[in-house]
Amino acid sequence: MPLNPGSVVGPYEILSALGAGDMGEVWKARDRRLDRIVAIKTLKGPHTGRFEQEARAIAALNHPNVCTLYDIGPDYLVMEFIDGEPLRGPVAADAGVRLACQIASALESAHQRGVLHRDLKPANVMVSSGSVKLLDFGIATLRGSDPEATRTTEGAVVGTVAYMSPEQAVGKAVDERSDIFSLGAVLYELISGERAFAGESAAEVLSAILRDDPRPLAAPEAVGRIVMRCLRKSPADRYQQMRDVRLALEHYAEPGKQTAASIAVLPFVDMSPGKDQDYFSDGLAEEIINALAQVPDLKVIARTSAFAFKGQNIDIRRIAETLGVAHVLEGSVRKAGDRIRVAAQLITAADGSHLWSERYDRELADVFAVQDEIAGAITKALSARLSIGEPAGRQHTPTLAAYEAYLKGRHRLWMITPESLHESRDFFQQAIAADPRFAQAYTGLSHHYLTLSMFSLMSAHQAMPQMRANAQRALELDPSLPDAHALLGIVSALYDYDWEESAREFGIAMAREPVPPWVRNVYSLFHLMYHGRAGDALHEMNQALSDDPLAVNLRYTMGVCLVGAGRLAEAEAQFKRVLELDPAFMTAHELQAFVCVARGDVAKACAWAEQAAKLAPWDPVVIGTHAATLGLAGDTAGAAALLGTLGDGSAFGAPIGLAVHYLLRGEIDQAADWIARAVDQRYPGILFFVHIIGGALRESPHWPRLAAMMKLPDRP
């Protein structure tokens, strides 16, 4: 249809040309009936009945980030006129993520109505005053409307080559995951200013899409991880729904954002006659937390923060306000003989009203069915008010004996004393003996060996192979376990110095939503901080604390990252908060001593180190720290006596204790020698101390030799 300014198409008066594309031309026009400005897109050929059906479906999309389709004619579409500019990069990562959140939200809405876009590209996204409008659904298709609708046409590729998915490029059927790939390509280009897949011809671009990985994105690692997961070749390896992409982007953009669909599961009260079932009632609440954490769009506060109120008579509304949730689940357990009685109540925090309550009387063997029933009932009750999905099914139901032993092992592991750690190993081994297919029991045992080596209670050469073997066995039973992948990432980093393999394992651990706060914690400590990326680590810890705001270990790691970033005052505030929550958290006292030494306040450093020594007199790092502060304060005899307890430095952990001592005293030559011995022992926390108190060491002539020993690709 030839048009020019002044032409009339039905009730529309053409005003000016806006541009041309593969499917036709776009004109600015005025709707004479409603006196509004519209955009008219003329099509190169008549559309089919199927297209009319799809056009009506797209017109029904009611989303603020979708350009509204007003009308269709024999060879034209009438759309909302957008006074803006096409999406262009490069932009800062944070700005790009904010725009991508809007695009993902628009595509999610379309996918929910069965509409696939199939031609997502920067030119089809208009930006006006910071808001985006997704347009040009010209080749969109209704999922399920036509078996051939989701395939490319014979002899031609439907879509824009640089942004299409591998399956779209070769003419295979596509689904929501194809649009997810295209969104990844768009966001990559938006942030970098370059296409993810380049080439001088369409054939070269297609070849890159099918075979090559894009160059690493120069952006915070969390953003790069989201983008690269979208761009994986196999649809099965990408996010599976656009909702998952949106949630990941929003979690990066607003890690502390509270949603109406949010819940905290408080520890269940032990009402058993003997009051000896704490581990069981806690375990029941934890399993319900784990089940609810798999529900899409539901924010679930992690165990540590939810359990911070255990044994305290605090108003539910105050708890909800502290944790930033709209709903709270509380309950009780009475266990007698081979029967249990569980009572649970779901409470709306705003007014304290009961949204749901139930009592369960069951045989003890039915405990897992009770957990699933409660999680399902809560989801159903919340679904009546909120748009959330269904809880995931149980991967494996362990035997009751294995489950009880596992809970006891976890309970002892968290105490972190030599005695409790010995007991935790016994319980995890009992769980495995009772049910060899219980994957979490193997991750618990793997975590046990990590803790032993971290606190110098077992040599790394003994502990790390055991840690690896148990994590691998857990993955053989359940390949989806993020904790097991993270544990293998730690072994690769701290024992093998295989940084590439460590990055791969941590990438898998961080890829599945929701990411457990513990995984973010160890990823920050043992990967990001070890490569000197304190900024990225701080971002991950902000997200972890959003899910688990009262977790002492997370706040401690946040303080560590702040020290690494040189933000000492903020670090001290974090360590102060840690000790308010748990005065016996030994390593917070230790880090406070480090900070005080850096600030030249020797008296306070001595006080903090002395308190750490009271809590863990057996830890070589604590001994080295205490000796250093005494020496700096002039007590050379006291310092020498403490150092004498480390003997000749050959015992496991002694070299790192001596290295910390000399680093704090600024005696770099001696520190470098002891660091080298600690590397031979594979002490797992070497780089932790290098980054926290080893600035002078990293600038010294000793560092290239030490870095080479740890196979570091560059300076940390």
Q: What is the pLDDT of residues 299-327, one digit of tens each?
A: 888 887 888 888 787 888 888 878 878 88
Q: Does 257 or 424 have the greater pLDDT score? A: 424
Class of domain 8-80: alpha beta
Q: What is the DSSP letter of 338?
A: T
Give the pLDDT band of residue 47 (cuts 50, 70, 90): low
Question: Are the beta carbons of 6 and 15 closer than 8 angstroms?
Answer: no
| β-strand partners of 17 | 27
Q: Please tell me the predicted confidence (pLDDT) of residue 155.
A: 35
Question: Are the beta carbons of 109 and 63 closer than 8 angstroms?
Answer: yes
Confidence check: pLDDT of 270 > 80: yes
What is 514-583's CATH topology? 1.25.40
| CATH number attached to the domain at 405-513 | 1.25.40.10
Report the amino acid identity of residue 22: D
Q: Please tell me the predicted confidence (pLDDT) of residue 674.
A: 97
Cα 445 to the chain's mean position, in Å? 23
pTM attached to this predicted model = 0.62
Tell me the H-state helices in 60-92.
none
Q: Please tell me the predicted confidence (pLDDT) of residue 672.
A: 97
Q: Please tell me the predicted confidence (pLDDT) of residue 389.
A: 59
Average pLDDT over residues 440-445: 95
> Parallel, antiparallel, or unpaired for β 262-265 and 299-300?
parallel
- HEC letters along 540-581: HHHHHHHHCCCCHHHHHHHHHHHHHCCCHHHHHHHHHHHHHH
Q: What is the pLDDT of residues 653-674, one digit of tens each?
A: 999 999 999 999 999 999 999 9
Lookup result for tokens 């490319």: 152
Domain with CATH 1.10.510.10 in the chain: 85-253
Domain with CATH 3.30.200.20 in the chain: 8-80
Question: Are the beta carbons of 517 and 544 closer than 8 angstroms?
Answer: yes
Collapsed DSSP state (helix, strand, coil) of residue 675: helix
Q: Does 1.10.510.10 match the CATH number of domain 85-253?
A: yes
> Is 119 known to be catalytic?
yes
Catalytic residue among 31, 83, 119, 435: 119
Q: Please tell me the predicted confidence (pLDDT) of residue 149.
A: 40
Question: Are the beta carbons of 489 and 527 closer than 8 angstroms?
Answer: yes
Domain with CATH 1.25.40.10 in the chain: 405-513, 514-583
Question: Mean pLDDT score of the chain, rounded to an integer?
Answer: 85
Tell me the CA end-to-end span of the chain in Å, nearest whole number. 64
Confidence check: pLDDT of 651 > 60: yes
Q: Does 280 or 627 have the greater pLDDT score? A: 627
Q: What is the pLDDT of residues 363-417, one digit of tens each?
A: 877 777 777 777 777 777 766 655 555 655 556 778 888 888 988 888 788 777 7
| CATH number attached to the domain at 262-394 | 3.40.50.10610
Domain with CATH 3.40.50.10610 in the chain: 262-394
Question: Are the beta carbons of 6 and 14 closer than 8 angstroms?
Answer: yes
- Per cent of the chain over pLDDT 90 is 37
The C-alpha angle with vertex 184 and arms to 178 and 185, in degrees rounded to 5, equals 95
